[in-house]
Amino acid sequence: MKKLIAELISAELPELSLEDIEKSIENPPKPELGDFAFPCFRLAKVMHKAPNLIAGELAEKIKSDAIDRIDVAGAYLNFYMNKDFYLKSMIEKISQDNFGASDEGNGKTICIDYSSPNVAKNFHVGHLRTTFIGNSLYKIFDKLGYKVERINHLGDWGTQFGKLIVAYKRWGSEEAVKEKGIEELMRIYVLFHEEADKDPALEDEARAWFNKMENGDEEALKIWRWFLDISLEEFKRIYALLGMEFDHYTGESFYIDKADAVVEDLKKADLLTDSEGAKIVDLSEYDMAPCLILKKDGSTIYATRDLAAVKYRKETFDFFKCLYVTGQEQKLHFKQVFKVVELLGNEWAKDSLVHIPYGLVSLGGEKLSTRGGNVIYAEDILKEAIAKIRSTIDEKNPDLKDKDEVSRIVGVGAVIFNDLYNQRIKDVSFNWSHILSPEGETGPYVEYTYARCSSILRNASDYQFTTDIDYSVLEDQASIDLIKALNEFPNVVKSASETYEPHIVARYAIAVAQAFNKFYHDNKVLVEETDVRNARLMLVSLTRKVIKDAMDLLGIGVVEEM
């Protein structure tokens, strides 16, 4: 419809491009102001007339069977579309199998670096944010036709492993680690820090063990690989619970043998500078602290490995963009790394490397800390959500089939939805009564709406979907508002991709659910009149389809019954 209106305006205003006109067309804030509006303010300079006069002249000239009338409101042209034409065009679009999808990404690859938990540390609730956001962005870009490489850049290298080896040798045992896994590794890791506060020599011992790892010491690497295997098993169990997968588990250790090439590149570009025995790239010219490349002992640091990762990913995937979903506290680190990549002569770094920061997650307002030991495990959060949903089902719908799977989908989905509902840069706090509520702006509310749609369609077992309906049946305001909401899905997907903001999709899912429940409140669906029944059932079917697609973009499943 916007394109049609833009074409009609363009015929009278050859001074403006069709694309420019289409971008200027607005959705009025109230239904009584029309279906679409076009502001004429900026035409005043071009046409040397008052905007309201321009609007009046355009209203006289534009004619189309698709438009019932055009009103002038100040400098605005308000378009009132022919309802049958308008509704038919929207519904035919919404009913397409690939509604919301596009081919804009064909032939382009996007790498997304997300989740990336630290090996030998339990997957805690703080890791959920990067995992949820990254997975949603993967689905959004996949919907737009991009080839997406899902990369889990595990924190599997660094001095912390020297600390862990010291802790294992002093206070751990093979039997305890085999029996308790990461729980035991976490215990001795916390204990190391408690003891190191009393005996600083432990830190030197830890650095020595990490140095052994870097120099290929077999004992050190054997222990490290064992801890890595234990951790991966734990992480993959969490990802299975979330219904998520990765294409690559290439952590920091994967780039160790690729770091030398990066150092050599920096030397050739004359970018390395000595600083108290360490090697840095001086970024003072760009108002940034120096980027540390090699420590005094010649060992690499995470910035070196991130530089090696960029080089490897560009050479391997020839990415269009490489996205890094991490906490906002790493903002400076990525600014430094991206600037170094650019200084190496890679102009593409300016547009292709993107840091996607997010806020903190807390439980009861308290920030989570691995070292301090006050850790809330992600698995515990997810299992508690599942258990609470299961308890509600047992109370309200004890005969429901597949209660365990329904509880998992709704419980896990509720946690994901709570996280993705607000802008990612905002902090997230857990409040069980809100997260699991079937009312309000929550995941269960959207799930319930989907299940209601499914129930209506089951009760109309003889219904066959068709868009060959009487469109005049859908001219009440609640029906029109729902159709308009559904019609926005492609714009929502596009906007979420451009801003890297899954919350746009989450809020859209709520808007559709609210519009549907208003429609359902105002209109009885399973009525005797065939024309009315079929038209409204079609709208129920389309709502169900769009809610499912929107929830899928968030990484959330849907259930047929609740």
Residue 201 makes CB contacts below 8 A (sequence gap 6+) with: none
The dihedral built from the CA positions of residue 288, 293, 299 and 301, taken in this order, carries a sign that is: positive
Q: How many residues make up the chain in this entry?
A: 562
Strand-pair category, 109-113 with 321-327: parallel
- Distance CA(485)–CA(494), nearest Å, equals 15
Nearest to 353 by CA among 321, 307, 391, 327: 321
Exactly one of 61, 93, 108, 127 is catalytic; which is it? 127
**One-letter amino acid of 497:** S
List own/partner pairs for 517-523 with CB under 8 A and 24 or more apart. Answer: 517/449, 517/452, 518/478, 518/481, 518/482, 519/478, 519/479, 519/481, 519/482, 520/452, 521/478, 522/476, 522/478, 523/476, 523/478, 523/479
- Establish whether 401 is a catalytic residue: no
Residue 67 makes CB contacts below 8 A (sequence gap 6+) with: 5, 8, 79, 80, 81, 82
Tokens 């429609």 sit at which residue? 519
Tokens 């597949």 sit at which residue? 402
- Establish whether 127 is a catalytic residue: yes
Nearest to 430 by CA among 364, 350, 503: 364
Exactly one of 121, 139, 503, 545 is catalytic; which is it? 121
DSSP code for 488: T
Exactly one of 49, 83, 108, 124 is catalytic; which is it? 124
- Establish whether 124 is a catalytic residue: yes
In this structure, what is the dihedral angle of CA atoms 518, 521, 527, 530, given to the nearest 10 degrees? -10
Nearest to 132 by CA among 451, 499, 428, 371: 428
- Distance CA(1)–CA(136), nearest Å, equals 29
Residues marked active site are found at 121, 124, 127
